[in-house]
């Protein structure tokens, strides 16, 4: 593990918690301002110190506050806290990313990727190009050390729990952190995999600090740790070397029976109240004269465009593996529905008074099918990846992730409208068929892009609450009423007009209506007709309140696309600010 060790001449690292108190926030109902959940103290005045070479096991009964302590040490706790945590003399929250890595209890990956694709992605993001020899060697070394060589081409979803743990560890070690914090690295693993993981961690601890919470470790596993922290009800009962812990218990006449698991013995003693606090008579944490500057580690922040390129590469790998589903979705969403529309409207023409109504319905269906399908696909784009995104905070910029999601929708925005137009327009009588179909496709592609921005924006704003599926129809309703398919736009009250200008349905309908009706120079009007007779296509446009200028629609599309994307970005940023998920 030479690569992972701090070099001899590098400074000693000390992480120190000083009077750390962590509590939950008081929750109040918003209407009565009455407390619905009172404040709860999770960590109570905890002080501890760990230094280079420490391989620490944090043990204690369930709910003792072990995970909260770990995440606080990593600077990733989102709860209210007082006191301080510092590495050497630098507050943990001010430490450069990569110096401390947290391996949470639950692994979150993009499951469709293979092990090597995932590691390449992370190396590219965190270290720089894998084509650089140093980075390639480091990656190869990690794969070998963490026994991932045989699994390189396996997809992550096919890995066992232990293999996923090793992959999580490898991911955290890409940047060679100086402090590695693992939450229950052995939970759910069989004894072989548990000792494999602990063995790797122990090796790593030479030259680093490795801190782990462990649940019911076997005696053999527990003995691998050289330090132990005992926690009970938010208090740190003891934190020091294994031998000092044993001595302290023996001073209280609490002798661990031969062949009895010491970890279990300690936990029982603190759970039944036999022990409240133990002294720690160890040497002080800082050796006099040791330097307090933090070591430099190699990290790399890729530029924004490179981040987008890497994120798109990762998403495309995932899409490739699901290509059959993608085709099925295309088939169901576009082919079948466009065939149904085509069949219902077969033979219609806007050159007769009867055909005017049919044509308006046809244009509306074409436009709304494209809008609805794309906006609902985009709506769920973040749902599955929100946890992954929150785990990867700091690896890439939120805006890069958002732009990647938007760009990944563009192939659909291109293929779906073209497929629609090709099929549905076969059924109706179009003037200048090829040119009109081409113009329809273009207008619907732009409609699809604006609809995707709308869906993505709504999804990002409401993803974490899970109510986007309920909110979306309510938001859709006023927007699609503005399309002019159900109400004459000229008769809208003035205060409703702003809604028209943020409606992608309006711009879509206005564009396709202009494309079609401007080519209809005469509409038959039977002499015995008692209802209104439209003279030509322009009269239809005027009667329905559509604009005279198609280029205004494209400006409108640009406006709503930017608007919804900005709102979506704000929603995602809000999720990022809620903090790390562990």
Binding site for ligand ATP (CB under 6 A): 24, 42, 60, 62-68, 79
Q: How far is the CB of 44 from ligand ATP (least distance, A)?
A: 11
CB 465 within 8 A of CB 552: no
Task: Annotate 117-126 with b (16+ C-beta within 10 A) or e (fewer).
Answer: bbbbbbbbbb
Q: Which is nearer to ligand ATP, 60 or 484 (CB)?
A: 60
Nearest to 231 by CA among 263, 209, 192: 263
Looking at residue 393, the DSSP 8-state letter turns out to be B
Instruction: Provide the b/e sequence for 176-198 (b: ≥16 CB within 10 Å).
Output: bbbbbbbbbbbeebeeebbbbbb
Pick 66 or 439: Cβ nearer ligand ATP: 66
Angstrom distance (rounded) from CA 582 to CA 574: 17
Please state the φ and ψ torsions of residue 36, each to the nearest 5 degrees. -95, -25
Could you tell me the smallest distance in angstroms from the CB atom of residue 25 to ligand ATP? Answer: 8
CB of 62 to ligand ATP, least distance (A): 3
Locate tokens 């407390």: which residue? 35
Q: How far apart are CA 463 and CA 578, in angstroms?
A: 13
Comparing CB distances to ligand ATP, the nearer of 88 and 227 is 227
Pairing of strands 80-87, 90-91: antiparallel
- The conformation of residue 320, written as its DSSP 8-state character, comes to H
Least distance (Å) between residue 132 CB and ligand ATP: 39
- Alpha helices, H only, 206-347: 219-224, 242-251, 262-271, 304-321, 323-330, 337-344
Q: Toward ligand ATP, which CB reaches closer, 60 or 75?
A: 60
Residue (471 or 581) nearer to ligand ATP, CB? 581
- Rounded to 5 degrees, what are φ and ψ at 548? -100, -5
Closest approach, Cβ 231 to ligand ATP, in A, equals 7
Q: Which is nearer to ligand ATP, 65 or 217 (CB)?
A: 65
CB of 263 to ligand ATP, least distance (A): 13
Contact 234, 62 (CB under 8 A): no
Determine the straight-line distance between the first and last CA of the chain, rounded to whole angstroms.
28
- Please, what is the minimum distance in Å from the beta carbon of residue 373 to ligand ATP? 38
Q: Of the two residues 235 and 290, which places its CB atom closer to ligand ATP in the complex?
A: 235
79 versus 317: smaller Cβ distance to ligand ATP:
79
Q: How far is the CB of 202 from ligand ATP (least distance, A)?
A: 22
Our CB check for ligand ATP shows the closer of 73 and 460 to be 73
User: Please, what is the minimum distance in Å from the beta carbon of residue 24 to ligand ATP?
Assistant: 4
DSSP string of 169-220? HHHHHTT--SEEEEESTTTT--HHHHHHHHHHHHHHHTTSEEEEE-SS--HH
436, two tokens? 């009109």
């Amino acid at each position: 593990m030479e690569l992972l060790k701090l070099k001899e001449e590098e400074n000693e690292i000390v992480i120190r918690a000083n009077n750390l108190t962590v509590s939950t926030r008081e929750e109040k109902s918003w209407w009565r301002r009455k407390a619905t959940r009172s404040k709860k103290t999770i960590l109570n005045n905890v002080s501890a110190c760990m230094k280079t070479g420490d391989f620490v096991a944090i043990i204690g009964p369930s709910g003792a506050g072990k995970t909260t302590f770990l995440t606080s040490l990593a600077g990733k706790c989102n709860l209210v806290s007082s006191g301080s945590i510092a590495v050497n003399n630098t507050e943990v929250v001010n430490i450069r990313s990569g110096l401390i890595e947290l391996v949470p209890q639950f692994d979150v990956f993009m499951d469709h990727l293979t092990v090597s694709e995932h590691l390449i992605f992370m190396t590219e993001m965190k270290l720089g190009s894998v084509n650089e020899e140093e980075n390639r060697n480091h990656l190869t070394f990690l794969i070998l050390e963490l026994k991932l060589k045989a699994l390189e081409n396996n997809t992550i979803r096919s890995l066992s729990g232990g293999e996923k743990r090793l992959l999580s560890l490898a991911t955290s070690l890409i940047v060679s952190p100086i402090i590695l914090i693992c939450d229950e690295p052995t939970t759910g693993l069989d004894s072989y995999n548990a000792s494999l993981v602990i063995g790797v961690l122990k090796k790593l601890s030479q030259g680093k600090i490795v801190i782990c919470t462990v649940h019911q470790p076997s005696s053999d596993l527990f003995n691998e740790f050289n330090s132990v922290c005992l926690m009970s009800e938010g208090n740190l009962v003891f934190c020091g070397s294994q031998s000092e812990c044993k001595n302290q218990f023996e001073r209280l006449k609490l002798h661990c029976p031969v062949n009895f698991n010491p970890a279990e013995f300690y936990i029982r003693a603190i759970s039944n109240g036999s022990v409240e606090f133990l002294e720690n008579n160890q040497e002080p944490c800082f050796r006099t004269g040791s330097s307090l500057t933090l070591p430099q580690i190699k990290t790399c922040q890729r530029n924004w465009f490179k981040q987008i390129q890497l994120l798109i590469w990762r998403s495309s790998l995932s899409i490739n593996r699901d290509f059959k589903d993608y085709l099925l979705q295309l088939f169901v969403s576009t082919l079948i529905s466009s065939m149904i529309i085509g069949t219902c409207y077969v033979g219609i023409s806007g050159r007769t008074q009867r055909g005017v109504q049919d044509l308006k319905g046809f244009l509306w269906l074409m436009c709304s099918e494209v809008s609805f399908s794309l906006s609902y696909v985009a709506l769920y784009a973040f749902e599955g990846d929100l946890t992954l995104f929150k785990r990867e905070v700091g690896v890439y910029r939120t805006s890069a992730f958002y732009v990647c999601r938007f760009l990944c929708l563009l192939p659909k925005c291109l293929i779906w409208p073209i497929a629609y137009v090709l099929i549905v327009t076969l059924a109706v009588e179009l003037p200048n068929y090829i040119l009109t179909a081409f113009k329809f496709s273009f207008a619907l592609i732009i409609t699809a892009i604006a609809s995707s921005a709308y869906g993505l924006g709504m999804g990002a704003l409401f993803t974490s609450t899970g109510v986007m599926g309920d909110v979306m129809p309510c938001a859709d309703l006023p927007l699609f009423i503005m399309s002019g398919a159900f109400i004459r736009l000229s008769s809208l009250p003035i205060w409703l007009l702003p809604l028209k200008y943020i409606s992608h349905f309006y711009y879509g309908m206005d564009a396709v209506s202009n494309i079609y009706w401007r080519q209809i120079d005469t509409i038959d009007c039977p002499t015995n007709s008692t209802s209104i007779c439209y003279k030509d296509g322009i009269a239809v446009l005027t009667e329905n309140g559509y604009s005279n200028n198609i280029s205004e629609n494209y400006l409108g599309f640009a406006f709503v696309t930017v608007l919804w994307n900005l709102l979506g970005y704000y929603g995602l940023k809000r999720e990022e600010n809620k903090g790390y998920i562990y």
